Amino acid sequence: MLEINLKERLDDFWVFPKLTKIQHSRDYNDNFFEFLNNSEVMNVPTNLYIHIPFCDSGCIFCPYYKLHGQTNYKKYLSKYVDSIIFEIKKYAEQPLLKNIKIESVHFGGGNPFLIPLSDLKRIVETIKSCFNVEVNDNWTMEGSINLIRDEAYPRGLLELGINRISFGVQTFNEEIRNAMNIKATIEDIYNGVEILNKAGLSEYCIDMMYNLPNQSVEDFIEDLKKVTELNPYHIDIYNMAVFPNTYLDKLVQTKGHFRINPSNENQMKMFREGDRWLLENGYKQIITNTYSKKQKEIHIGDKVYLENGNVIGIGVSARGYINGYAYKNVCDIRDYLELIENNNFPADLAYHCTLDQHYDRRMVYFPILMEINKCDIPDYSRYEERINQLIERKLVKWVGDTLKLTKEGIFWSGNISALFISEERWATYIKSFLVAAKEKINPYNEDMMGKEVVDLEE
């Protein structure tokens, strides 16, 4: 893959290296995690990611690991909270991670707003007691706005130090919202935002999607107009990826089901138009898919991650990366709880990157940041030919010592990332897709995601 391919616009790569069951499954009794016994001081900036798998919505495009329904929630909530607390402590007591500084904490999901404040307090206190960490604006949480029903919850988040949240609006188009089975109503969005403002939690960020089924370019621009009226801290725009073997995929494959099917052509048009509209209306592009009028620079959590920092991934399906050691936690809550009960690291996939692969990770992520300083390019000679190719194609240019993506380069940022993925790593992606196709599983987590949509309430 040494020639950039500009046939199809690729999404940004936020996961590298890709771990897959066929190549990276581990035996729970192996010695993979022994690297944590090293007691040298670790100076690599490190984030903490905690996955909360409960969700009360059933958006059919969503590939993330989550559990629907009250029964699951009641059955697992308390045990799950205990288990993630156990897992945090387990990492924190390893010699390599003892007292390390944590730069940012993110609660992702699923829908973390489903965690009661009392449980959240226990988790936050555990993190504070385990690591050298400050509670400041580097603590973030994502969730669904329909769960913001009174001021008590956002006030509670602020008291715990979580003062930036994000939630998905996706679109204001009712027809599309219904077709995508999004639970939050338009009324929930406006009510929720009003409550957040009253509670003083003003740093709310909003996710929007483009290339949704039946969505036109005009619809997307209309959505952007409406979302800006909500005065968000920033807006993330996501091209809708149709993950194979999900319920959505089935509908897209059914001829005539949608008036407009997601396509590469549509997403390219929509990104160009949406980007133009946002920039013309006073928004600044912070990273490739984040625009803001208020935020001055990239969030520290993204900066650490995209500049090849570490992430300690906690909870079912979470991904971690510590000093070149990549792991992915098991994607089934029952297995997760059992592994924790047996005092195992609950990762079923693991891989120790070579130094070249570790360097490649920096290069795969830099296009999302839209620039990289020459002194931050590890082993320049390894990438020189590819960088020159990008310069020739006017996708990047040197501005002083900084290699910057051009406007066209930003458009093709995912394809630029792909150029820095080695052939042997590509083979892993392809293998994982083939296995997923054969086993009819979703390649994102290699699980059965999407089937649950039919039994939202058990």
Q: Which is nearer to ligand SAM, 18 or 26 (CB)?
A: 18
Instruction: Report the distance separating Cα 222 and Cα 209, nearest Å.
Output: 12
Q: Which does 63 bind (CB under 5 to 8 A by kind): ligand SAM, ligand SF4, none?
A: ligand SAM
User: Nearest approach, Cβ of 216 to ligand SF4 (angstroms)?
Assistant: 22
Instruction: Report the distance separating Cα 200 and Cα 7, nearest Å.
Output: 46
Question: Should residue 109 be labelled a site residue for ligand SAM when binding is judged by CB under 6 A?
Answer: yes
Q: Which stretch binds ligand SAM (CB under 6 A): 56-64, 71-79, 318-326, 428-436?
A: 56-64
Q: Which is nearer to ligand SF4, 73 or 277 (CB)?
A: 73
Q: Binders of ligand SAM: how many residues, by CB under 6 A?
A: 19
Q: Which residues pair with 204 in a beta bridge?
A: 165
Q: Which is nearer to ligand SAM, 170 or 417 (CB)?
A: 170
Location of structure tokens 């997923």: 436
Question: Should residue 55 be labelled a site residue for ligand SF4 when binding is judged by CB under 6 A?
Answer: yes
CA distances from 304 to 44, 234, 301, 438 (A): 9, 19, 5, 37
Q: Which stretch binds ligand SAM (CB under 6 A): 91-99, 163-171, 367-375, 423-431?
A: 163-171
Question: Hey, what amino acid is at 309?
Answer: G
Residues 167-206 that bind ligand SAM (CB under 6 A): 167-168, 170
Q: Which does 167 bind (CB under 5 to 8 A by kind): ligand SF4, ligand SAM, none?
A: ligand SAM
Question: Should residue 144 be labelled a site residue for ligand SAM when binding is judged by CB under 6 A?
Answer: yes
At 46, is the secondary structure helix, strand, or coil? strand
Which is nearest to 215 in space by CA: 158, 131, 271, 276?
A: 271
Which is nearest to 315 in space by CA: 303, 301, 332, 302?
A: 332
Phi, psi values for residue 398, rounded to 5°: -80, 130
Q: Which does 258 bind (CB under 5 to 8 A by kind): ligand SAM, ligand SF4, none?
A: none
String marking each residue 353-392 x if it binds ligand SAM according to CB under 6 A: ----------------------------------------
Residues 98-117 that bind ligand SF4 (CB under 6 A): 109-111
Question: Should residue 62 be labelled a site residue for ligand SF4 when binding is judged by CB under 6 A?
Answer: yes
Task: Tell me the CB-side half-sphere exposure of residue 338, using CA atoms within 13 A.
Answer: 8
User: Nearest approach, Cβ of 184 to ligand SAM (angstroms)?
Assistant: 8
Question: Should residue 301 be labelled a site residue for ligand SF4 when binding is judged by CB under 6 A?
Answer: no
Q: Which does 73 bind (CB under 5 to 8 A by kind): ligand SAM, ligand SF4, none?
A: none
Instruction: Report the distance separating Cα 458 and Cα 456, nearest Å.
Output: 6
Contact 204, 218 (CB under 8 A): no
Location of structure tokens 């293998």: 431
How many angstroms separate the first and last alpha carbons of the chain?
46
Question: Should residue 239 be labelled a site residue for ligand SF4 when binding is judged by CB under 6 A?
Answer: no
User: Nearest approach, Cβ of 21 to ligand SF4 (angstroms)?
Assistant: 22
Contact 170, 145 (CB under 8 A): no
Task: Output the CA torsion 260→265→269→275 (10° steps).
Answer: 110
At 294, is the secondary structure helix, strand, or coil? coil
Q: Which stretch binds ligand SAM (CB under 6 A): 85-93, 139-147, 190-198, 315-323?
A: 139-147
Instruction: Report the distance separating Cα 311 and Cα 305, nearest Å.
Output: 7
Question: Should residue 321 be labelled a site residue for ligand SAM when binding is judged by CB under 6 A?
Answer: no
Contact 73, 457 (CB under 8 A): no
Instruction: Report the distance separating Cα 119 and Cα 133, nearest Å.
Output: 19
Residues 243-272 that bind ligand SAM (CB under 6 A): 243
Q: Which is nearer to ligand SF4, 103 or 236 (CB)?
A: 236
Among the listed residues 62, 88, 123, 349, the single contact to ligand SAM using CB under 6 A: 62
Question: Should residue 64 be labelled a site residue for ligand SF4 when binding is judged by CB under 6 A?
Answer: yes
CA distances from 349 to 85, 320, 325, 370, 416 (A): 21, 10, 11, 30, 27
User: Nearest approach, Cβ of 247 to ligand SAM (angstroms)?
Assistant: 12
Q: Which residues bind ligand SF4 (CB under 6 A)?
A: 55, 57-59, 62, 64, 66, 109-111, 144, 168
Q: Which residues bind ligand SAM (CB under 6 A)?
A: 55, 61-64, 109, 111, 142-144, 167-168, 170, 207, 209, 238, 240-241, 243
